Amino acid sequence: MEFRQLLPQPETVAADQLLGQLRRDLQAPAERPYTLVNFIASADGRATFAGRSGGLGDDGDRAMFHGLREQVDAVMVGTGTLRAERYGRVLGRPERRERRRSRGLTPEPLACIVSRSGDIPDIPLFAEPEARAIVFVPRGTDIDLRDTAAQIELTRLDPGELTLTTVLRRLRAEHDVEVLLCEGGPMLFGGLLQERAVDELFLTLAPKLTGGGTEHTITSGPELPELQPLSLRWLLERDGSLYLRYRLR
Ligand SMILES: NC(=O)c1ccc[n+]([C@@H]2O[C@H](COP(=O)([O-])OP(=O)(O)OC[C@H]3O[C@@H](n4cnc5c(N)ncnc54)[C@H](OP(=O)(O)O)[C@@H]3O)[C@@H](O)[C@H]2O)c1
């Protein structure tokens, strides 16, 4: 699928080709994965409409969303997003899994779920025998994922140790995750920003208005102590949607 690149230089680019080069210049820090975050927002800044993000996007956004997944070692999500978006397997299309295999990656990224309550929604992903997931919860939470078909590792941490910094450190040290994609939601993104654990933001700006209401924006939780500046790495356009790739400074 083709996009019109406006920056850094005007040209037509194919999404899979552009994203296929993504890992080339990414250098993961020693203590955590290089962390990308991907969101879509309406032109008036909302991350959902009627409780979900799906209606904001089009096939271009879906191509970026799945193209990013194809490049990374793990995909991290909060339980609010799992519940709203009913996550299925991370890469549904066999050709994407085949391309990963041919590059020496696992066929699908590891799904990474974090929860303080231990209330993990029963999602279609858990019924997929080939899916791999790791779930981080505090010790003492009542949770049983043994009857799921997917390969799930449950990691129980002392409540005081369950920070996103710890989760990322363990993904890097124990699961070989060099590039992580966080797909939200807003609370998880806010938490990662608080812990200064984000390297890049991929933001689709959809040419749609929600018109008000109280739906999510792409971050939630406490405000940062200072504004977080961003540098624009690329700007693409397709069918009126803008695709911004920012580096956090
Ligand atoms: N526009 C977009 O691109 C986009 C992307 C993603 C999501 N969304 C939308 O966002 C909405 C969900 O928002 P949300 O903010 O509730 O979602 P969320 O961030 O996915 O989930 C929040 C939950 O994740 C867990 N969590 C978050 N930070 C944690 C931390 N630091 N440590 C441990 N657990 C943590 C907690 O789970 P427990 O409650 O289990 O403790 C928390 O209640 C949905 O409507 C979804 O459609 C939009």
| Structural domains in the chain, sorted by start | 2-23+32-248 (3.40.430.10)
Q: How many CB atoms neighbour CB 140 within 10 A?
A: 10
Antiparallel, parallel or unpaired: β 241-248 and 230-238: antiparallel
**CB 67 near ligand 1, within 6 Å:** no
**CB 119 near ligand 1, within 6 Å:** yes
Give, for ligand 1, the residue of 61, 82, 87, 116 to mutate: max count of ligand atoms closer than 8 Å to Cβ: 116
Query: Of the candidates 218, 241, 212, 187, which has an alpha carbon nearest to the alpha carbon of residue 58?
Result: 241
Extract the tokens encoding 225: 């102590």
- Under 8 Å between Cβ of 38 and 65: yes
Query: Of the candidates 84, 82, 91, 90, which has an alpha carbon nearest to the alpha carbon of residue 115?
Result: 82
| Tens of each residue's pLDDT in the chain, 249 residues | 999 999 999 999 999 999 999 999 899 999 999 999 999 999 999 999 999 999 999 999 999 999 999 999 999 999 999 999 999 999 999 999 999 999 999 999 999 999 999 999 999 999 999 999 999 999 999 888 888 999 999 999 999 999 999 999 999 999 999 999 999 999 999 999 999 999 999 999 999 999 999 999 999 999 999 999 999 999 999 999 999 999 999
Q: What pTM value is reported for the model?
A: 0.98
Could you tell me the distance, in angstroms and rounded to a whole number, from the CA of residue 163 to the centre of ligand 1? 15
Give, for ligand 1, the residue of 76, 81, 217 to mutate: max count of ligand atoms closer than 8 Å to Cβ: 81
